[in-house]
């Protein structure tokens, strides 16, 4: 299996200039062949595949007008062509969910986020004395926060909007050893007031990272709006805004990874609803809160970690009325559609029910039923 390891790197000014040059060349190659494929299709209804573009790129680099393409990593330019080819494949390919990527767009040099990917040919990418060897760039100081396992296949060098540089190493590794079985099962009801409520009566708090820094973010954005766009002070203010956004994203990601890993270690079977946050954010009263909790990312992490460590994640239908069913007798009461109702009494058996705990138990029961089929 393949696994990625992302690290912060600290290039020198000379290396920064070279990395930025590679960004620009990769962007040029992507845009050049996107334009060429569009033009060919408009003129005669044909297009160019990856092999055609790669052959043409060789001739392009030999021309005097574009000889500067020889100064950068050639595998990075080839990766741009593959990215363009994948973008067209994604646009024309039918997707089971009915959704598919849009038509490929031209890349802008004004974007503050840039990246390029290069392959490891032989040992062109390697770790040497707390530095990483990158093709054409040389040895760059790296913060090795954790050891690298497996064989390095490729490296993606990126620059964040805040001006930090990172490298993501794609490695070929063995599948992790399955965790010991705990014979425990759990149902999770995700929410906004609490991030998640388990059938074991455990509440996982919603830290509301965006809400926490909302006032500070608004202040920085007001300061940015007052600066003359493109000036040095404007760039300083822009980086402050980007750094705060990055901090919020990092805190959220750290929480999701720790919680998902903890749940996979504790339980053999995890049941949760297959929600569609992209549809739920149409409710403008809850859109910001729903986006802040990142249910989709949490679900994604649970699924791949469970696959790694030999556990099971069961997703029940999003239209299953988990909040409306009594977990004691199974009676349905539609009054819980109102989100203000946090506790209710079953009209049939008289049981006093907490909305979230009751939903988590119903999700667990439905998940086990689906798993048994």
- Among 189, 194, 200, 214, the one annotated catalytic: 189
Query: Which tokens hold the place of 15?
Result: 């290396």
Q: In what order do the strands lie in the sheet with 131-134?
A: 114-119, 151-159, 165-172, 2-10, 138-143, 131-134, 126-128
Partnered with residue 116 across adjacent β-strands are: 157
The rounded Cα 61 to chain-centroid distance in angstroms is 34
- Among 73, 85, 292, 356, the one annotated catalytic: 356
C-beta separation of 235 from 225 below 8 A: no
Residue 332 carries which DSSP code? B
How wide is the angle at C-alpha 78 spanned by C-alphas 75 and 79, nearest 5°?
A: 90
Rounded Cα–Cα distance for residues 274 and 59 (Å): 50
Is the backbone of residue 161 left (phi > 0), alpha (psi -120 to 50) or beta?
Answer: alpha
- Among 73, 85, 273, 366, the one annotated catalytic: 273
- What separation in angstroms does the CA of 126 have from each of 16, 80, 133, 138, 220? 19, 22, 5, 10, 40
CA atoms within 13 A on the CB side of 89: 8
In 3D, which of 83, 127, 79, 138 has the Cα closest to residue 106? 83
Known active-site residue 65:
no
C-beta separation of 7 from 144 below 8 A: yes
C-beta separation of 165 from 247 below 8 A: no
Give me the DSSP letters along 147-192.
Answer: ---SEEEEEEEEE-TTS-EEEEEEEE-PPPPPPPP---EEEEEE-S
Residue in this structure with the two tokens 């569009």, named with its chain if needed: 38
Known active-site residue 189:
yes
The catalytic residues are: 189, 273, 356
């Amino acid at each position: 299996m393949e696994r990625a390891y992302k690290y912060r790197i600290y290039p020198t000014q000379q290396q920064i200039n070279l990395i930025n040059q590679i960004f620009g060349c990769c962007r040029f190659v992507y845009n050049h062949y996107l334009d060429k494929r569009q033009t060919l299709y408009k003129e005669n209804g044909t297009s160019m595949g990856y092999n055609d573009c790669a052959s043409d790129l060789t001739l392009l680099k030999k021309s005097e007008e574009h000889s500067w393409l020889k100064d950068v990593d050639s595998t990075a330019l080839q990766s741009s062509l593959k990215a363009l080819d994948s973008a067209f494949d994604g646009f024309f390919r039918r997707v089971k969910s009915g959704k598919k990527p849009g038509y490929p767009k031209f890349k802008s040099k004004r974007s503050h986020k840039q990246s390029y990917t290069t392959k490891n040919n032989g040992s062109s990418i390697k770790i040497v004395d707390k530095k990483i060897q990158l093709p054409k760039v040389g040895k760059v100081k790296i913060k090795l926060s954790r050891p690298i396992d497996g064989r390095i296949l490729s490296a993606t060098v990126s620059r964040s909007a805040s001006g930090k540089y990172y490298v993501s190493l794609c490695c070929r590794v063995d599948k992790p050893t399955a965790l010991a079985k705990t014979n425990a099962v759990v149902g999770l009801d995700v929410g906004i007031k609490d991030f998640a409520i388990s059938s074991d009566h455990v509440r996982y708090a919603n830290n509301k990272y965006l809400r926490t820094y909302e006032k500070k973010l608004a202040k920085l954005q007001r300061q940015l709006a007052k600066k003359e766009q493109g000036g040095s002070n404007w760039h300083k203010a822009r980086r402050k805004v980007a750094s705060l956004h990055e901090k919020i994203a990092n805190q959220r990601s750290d929480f999701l990874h720790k919680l998902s890993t903890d749940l996979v270690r504790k339980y053999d079977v995890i049941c949760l609803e297959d929600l569609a946050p992209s549809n739920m954010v149409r409710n403008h009263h809850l859109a910001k809160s729903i986006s802040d909790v990142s249910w989709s990312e949490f679900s994604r992490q649970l699924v791949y970690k469970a696959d790694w460590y030999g556990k099971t994640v069961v997703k029940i239908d999003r239209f299953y009325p988990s909040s409306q069913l009594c977990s004691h007798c199974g009676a349905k009461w539609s009054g819980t559609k109102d989100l203000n109702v946090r506790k209710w009494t079953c009209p049939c058996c008289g049981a006093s029910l907490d909305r979230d705990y009751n939903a988590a138990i119903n999700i667990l029961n439905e998940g086990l039923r689906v798993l048994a089929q």
